[in-house]
Amino acid sequence: MEPENDTRISEFLLLGLSEEPELQPLLFGLFLSMYLITVIGNLLIILATISDSHLHTPMYFFLSNLSFADICFTSTTVPKMLVNIQTQSQVITYAGCITQMFFFMLFASLDDFLLTVMAYDRFIAICHPLHYTIIMNPWLCVLLALLSWIMSVLISLIHSLMALRLSFCTPLEIPHFFCELNQVIHLACSDTFLNDMVIYSASVLLAGGPLAGILYSYYKIVSSIHAISSAQGKYKAFSTCASHLSVVSLFYFTMMSVYLSSATTQTSHSSATASVMYTVVTPMLNPFIYSLRNEDIKRALRCFFWRETINV
């Protein structure tokens, strides 16, 4: 007997991180706090780069794009979870689930590509400093950012269209706090072979390609830094890419921990808990990583708030 067509499916149930009633207020307060910190912190980075003309450089142009992507990345999952907790509902519509998947994959892919572009920017700055302004001209910066957006949209669009062709059976419970692609596909009654192949291919593209580019860039960067004779010169060169290297490590290690933990424990709830690290914690920490050791960002923020105080 053929499964029911997916057009009859009206909603899914997001089971969240915990179904214990006494934990819901704690989860609401915790995720609301992290979400507000993420949005405010990344907005401050964007405001600093826009308001200070000294920060109108390729490095801060890509950083502001990354901050915007992080805000959108977190906003695709956390607000819906907060609404579900507050209303004591686990429902997400079919259209809402597909839309959430699309934007989640879009901004996750965009983060990945932007981190790779930023590694290339640091590679040019350290390995070819005399030609930096010529190579990293405004047109190339805009082109690299635009290509990152286009690639991200295409990848997420392919996944979403592939999910639309699936038929679903009951129960439609997703043991996650958002519509995670693998979880949704595993609920399907129809054949998911093509979906799995697209997922594996996209994983190789998103993990292998950008990561290889980042590793090659830093291999060349380390080689150039090693050739610098003075210790002060080495420290100055390394400090320009320390923040980016920290963010890259945090992004990839947390994402890898999700899939490794899910592969070893075989429990969906443990995978959902681990997903909090790269979906919520990493975007929240990025502004702190880039601002705590960056005097330019601190100075720009001080000037911005000083001007606002005077105007008031």
State the Cα–Cα distance between residues 243 and 62, nearest whole angstrom. Answer: 13
Is 199 in a helix, a strand, or coil?
helix
**Residues 99-121, buried b or exposed e (16+ Cβ, 10 A)?**
ebbbbbbbbbbbbbbbbbbbbbb
pLDDT confidence of residue 262: 52
Across the range 93-112, mean pLDDT stands at 94
Residue written as tokens 């030609």? 131
pLDDT confidence of residue 3: 44
Each residue of 180-197: pLDDT tens digit?
888 888 888 888 888 888
Q: Which residue ranges make up each domain of the chain?
A: 6-311
Read off the tokens for 34: 């992290």
The answer to whether the CB of 287 falls within 8 A of the CB of 43 is: no
The answer to whether the CB of 37 falls within 8 A of the CB of 282 is: no
Across the range 261-275, mean pLDDT stands at 61
Q: Does domain 6-311 have CATH number 1.10.760.10?
A: no
- Residue 190 backbone phi and psi in degrees, to 5: -80, 170
How many residues are listed for the chain in this entry? 312
Chain mean pLDDT for the chain: 85
Region at 160 (left for phi over 0; alpha for psi -120 to 50; beta for the rest): alpha
User: Which of 60, 43, 80, 113 minimizes the C-alpha distance to 284?
Assistant: 43
User: CA quadruple 59, 71, 273, 202: dihedral positive or negative?
Assistant: negative
DSSP summary character for residue 205: I
The answer to whether the CB of 179 falls within 8 A of the CB of 101 is: yes
Across the range 106-111, mean pLDDT stands at 94
pLDDT confidence of residue 5: 43
CB neighbourhood size of 233 (10 A): 12
Each residue of 36-74: pLDDT tens digit?
999 999 999 999 899 888 889 999 999 999 999 999 999
